[in-house]
Every structure is written in C-alpha cells, then in structure tokens.
Homo-oligomer: A and B are copies of this chain.
Amino acid sequence: MDVGIVGLAGAGAALARRWAGAGLRVAVFDAEGREHPDDLRHGACAMSSAVAVARSLAAPRIVWLCVPAGAATELAMQEVWPELAAGDVIVDAGDAHYHDAPRRAAALASVGIHFADCGVRDGAAGAATVLLGGSDAAARIVAPLARIAAGEGVYAHCGPAGAGHYVRMVNDGVERAVLRAFDEGAALLRGKREFGLDAARIADLLRAGRGAHGWPADPGEAGAARAASASGHGVVNEAVAQRTPAPVLSLAAMLELGTAQADGAARPTRMAGSARRRDGAADDKDDTT
C-alpha cells in the first residue's frame, strides 16, 4: 500500500478519496467501524487495526492520523510508531492543539521517525487547504501526498512542527469571522425589502468579480461551510497570550459559542464524503453544521 490512514471521520475519508482517486493504494482503519463510501472502494483497503495499516506500507511509510485530538490521537500514535523505522513519517491531521506537535516531533525524532502536523480543511469540490508543519525532511517526503490532497486548493509547508496546526487554527478563526461578516451583510441585503434585493444573486456577482475576498456561495446559509473545530477558538487564547488584540476574531468566536449553546449540539467539521458507521447509524460528524 502507498499510504495509510487511521480514522475515517472528518479529514480521513476526504484524504482517502483524493488519494484513491489519484490511483494510490490506500490502507485505512477506523476504530469506530466506519466504512468508506462506495465510491472509495477502489483504491482503499480496509485494515483490521492501526498496526495492520502501518505494516501494509513500504518505506518510506507515511501514516496519517485523522482521529480526535487527545486520547484517541495518543493511542493511535502509541500503536503505530513501533511499527515504523527511521525515515518513516507520522502525520497528525486531527484537531490537536498546535502545542502538542513540537513535543511529539521531538519524541519521534529520538528514534529517527519524522512527525508532521497537518491542518486539513475541505473546501469546494476538488480543493482543500492543507497546511503542514514539520522539518524540511518530513515535508519533502509528505509533499507529494499533500499536494494531491489539496487538489486545486492550497498546500503549504508553513514552518516547523506545530506550524501547520497553528496556521490552520488562525485560518479557521479568520474564516469564521469572514463568513459571519458575509452573513450579516446578506441579512442586511435581504432585510431591505423595499429594494427586493436578491442576496444570493448579488453575492454571485460580487464573487465573480474575483476580488480576493469575494462573497462565498449562499451567504446566509447557516454555517454549511463553517469550520467549527475546537482549535478554531484557539485564536482567542492566542491573542491573549501574545497580548495582540484580535477583537473581530474573538467576537466571531464568542458569537459561535452563543449559537452552539442555543443549538445544544457540538459543531463538527463537515468534510465531503464523511464515512458512515458500519452499523448504519448516522455518524454525528456527518451532520450538516
């Protein structure tokens, strides 16, 4: 197998699809029993464990961890790294806080294994934002896969271990504020009934103007495209830590917390083609935000 993925919720399924679609043989394992959607079947091979995923690869082995931050990621790392050799790579593409990356990178480096953190945000069809942190050596090995994953989107080696998750966190915070600004503007357009403005049409036109910050599709749709991971609110903590004012980003984060409270539900990151549980139950993470 050419690459391994542990975890098919969130980014995992999207990555599997991209690589399988590019003709790569992808080994996948999901602890919750999620299966990959039909269109993924060709090119993806379900393994019985994270260990099996690692063992199915040839050097340089590259295993992408796409599991929730915290315990799940620690567990996956503990299972996978003993199966790797010097020169292999573990990529943490989950929602871990960027603080964790340097520590993990140092620990793995002591046995010659590369570590990279990767922030993945799925965008419109065929395009994703893939932000990598890690040594130049790690980036060289991972770059081809990362570029395929990005498709017509963005791949960037942002800096050392931690930089990938950090930039993703800041980008999330900015995106949240931007989307909210658009939503508020759209509400004001629709609200001016005497003009009978077509907010969607106007947004299309403004976006077609190809300004660097045009209006997104469907302004006012309640957060379908919002990246609402836990790390997204980290921008607020970061601003306090750096003593750098970020009032707009913080406000957007706080407003989202308010909405989340009202809804009474966690807001998952919606990734195209997220897997469904083998038992047929709808995966919480499949819910439209």
Contacts and interface: CB of A to CB of B under 8 A. Distances in A.
Interface residues of A, number: 80
A209 B247 contact: no
Interface in A118-154: 123-124, 127, 129, 133, 150, 152-154
Contact of A247 (B162, B211, B239, B247): B247
Given A181-B248, A195-B162, A252-B181, A205 B154 contact: yes
Contacts of A188: 170, 173, 235, 238-239, 242, 244, 246, 249
A11 to B, nearest CB: 16
Contacts of A213: 175, 178-179, 182, 213-216
Interface stretch (A54-62, A84-92, A257-265): A257-265
A107 interface: no
Contacts of A4: none
A106 interface: no
A265 B236 CA distance: 22
Chain A binding surface, main DSSP class: helix
A197 B187 CA distance: 36
Integer count of this chain's copies in the complex: 4
Interface in A60-112: none
A174 B167 contact: no
A213 to B, nearest CB: 5
A171 interface: yes
Contact of A261 (B166, B173, B214, B243): B243
B212 A239 contact: no
Given A129-B211, A177-B177, A177-B181, A240 B237 contact: yes
A196 B167 CA distance: 12
28 contacts: A127-B209, A127-B210, A129-B209, A155-B205, A158-B202, A160-B195, A160-B196, A162-B195, A167-B189, A171-B185, A171-B206, A173-B185, A174-B184, A174-B185, A174-B215, A177-B178, A178-B182, A188-B246, A191-B242, A192-B242, A234-B240, A236-B240, A236-B250, A237-B240, A246-B254, A247-B250, A248-B248, A258-B258
